[in-house]
């Protein structure tokens, strides 16, 4: 797998919870901070107070290999209560991709809910690229190892996404 191919990771699990409660949790942009080792804080931009198509939010991240950086995400898909999707941009051009362009994001993330039995199935996915990210910088340093670098990143993302899904399930299945 090469970066130019737009590598994808998708994880899912069944939740024995009201889909409306799950939707409330997945559209809370601050919630993933509780489960992430990389995402440190998130806040709405432009006076937004909740998810709307086109709304923007800022994320602050930290990784031992890359240090700290800021992202700006744009909500590009909001099909309540089934799909919540956003693209991530590098507003400070830290990774050398040029001006931030929602049509050329560093990543595209999505939650998808599907009614299922006594609850719902929650899927979480990410497509990396085509814009530059910290992963691009790592590949630049050792292009001959691109496939292994991507495989390691996809595995780390899968672990983080699984932890997030499990955290959402734990919260959604708790009595209110």
Across 17-66, the runs of DSSP E, i.e. the strands, are: 39-44, 56-63
Residue 27 pLDDT more than 90?
yes
Distance from the Cα of residue 49 to its chain's centroid = 19
- Taking only the tens place, the pLDDT of each residue in 122-131 is 999 999 999 9
* Phi and psi at residue 140, to the nearest 5°: -55, -35
Question: 128 pairs with which residues across the strands?
Answer: 107
Q: pLDDT at position 87, please?
A: 98
Residue 175 pLDDT more than 90?
no
Residue 129 lies in domain: 3-172
Output b/e per residue, 3-27; b: 16+ Cβ within 10 A: beeebebebbeebebebebbbebbb
Q: pLDDT at position 136, please?
A: 95
- Taking only the tens place, the pLDDT of each residue in 67-86 is 999 999 999 999 999 999 99
- Taking only the tens place, the pLDDT of each residue in 89-138 is 999 999 998 999 999 999 999 999 999 999 999 999 999 999 999 999 99
Query: Which residues are CB-contacts of 21 (< 8 A; sequence separation ≥ 6)?
Result: 172, 176
Question: Average pLDDT for residues 46-62, to the nearest whole number?
Answer: 94
- Taking only the tens place, the pLDDT of each residue in 146-159 is 999 999 999 999 99
Q: pLDDT at position 176, please?
A: 73
Q: pLDDT at position 66, please?
A: 87
Question: Average pLDDT for residues 54-69, to the nearest whole number?
Answer: 94
* Mean pLDDT over the full length of the chain: 95
Tokens of 7: 């590598």
The domain that contains 28 carries what CATH number? 3.30.530.20
User: How many separate domains does the chain show?
Assistant: 1
H/E element holding 35? none
Q: pLDDT at position 48, please?
A: 85
Question: Average pLDDT for residues 3-15, to the nearest whole number?
Answer: 97
């Amino acid at each position: 797998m090469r970066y130019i191919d737009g590598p994808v990771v998708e994880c899912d699990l069944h939740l024995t919870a009201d889909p409306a409660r799950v939707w409330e949790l997945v559209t809370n942009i601050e919630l993933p901070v509780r489960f992430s080792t990389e995402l440190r804080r998130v806040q709405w931009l432009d006076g937004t107070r909740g998810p709307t198509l086109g709304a923007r939010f800022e994320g602050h991240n930290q990784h031992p290999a890359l240090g700290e950086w800021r992202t700006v995400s744009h909500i590009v898909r909001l099909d309540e209560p089934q799909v919540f999707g956003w693209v991530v941009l590098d507003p400070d051009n830290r990774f050398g991709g040029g001006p931030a362009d929602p049509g050329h994001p560093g990543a595209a993330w999505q939650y998808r809910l599907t009614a299922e039995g006594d609850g719902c199935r929650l899927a979480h996915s990410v497509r990396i690229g085509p814009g530059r990210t910290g992963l691009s910088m790592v590949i630049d340093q050792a292009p001959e190892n691109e496939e292994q670098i991507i495989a390691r990143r996809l595995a780390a993302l899968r672990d983080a996404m699984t932890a997030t899904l499990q955290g959402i399930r734990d919260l959604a299945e708790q009595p209110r």
